[in-house]
Structure 1
């Protein structure tokens, strides 16, 4: 599922529905980083609030992953 999420084939909500568990976006980003998978493709303005949020969350997750 993580690889499919990385490719943009499924959403976080799809993962929650399939696992029956709540999955935070930050947890998904951390798992992508740990498995050396790229972020899902985002088809929007790179300066949009959503893209900027993804960027900040990724940076935070990467800092936490390297601290552990």
Structure 2
């Protein structure tokens, strides 16, 4: 999650630190699944959720991005 030359405001820095702590303690995958489910509910109201689909490859692509840094 470290980026050379990045400048963070307080809210962004706190969010990154929380994600870093989840990752360090092994809870990032569970949190990310919860986050995606909540975003799905927010973006696709109950009446249209059958038409919306969560990307099943989200975990694979996130791990690839994380391991390349």
Q: TM-score range by the shorter chain?
A: 0.3 to 0.5
TM-score by length of 1: 0.34
Please give the TM-score of this superposition, normalised by the length of structure 2. 0.33
Larger radius of gyration: 2
The structure that is helix-richer by fraction is 2
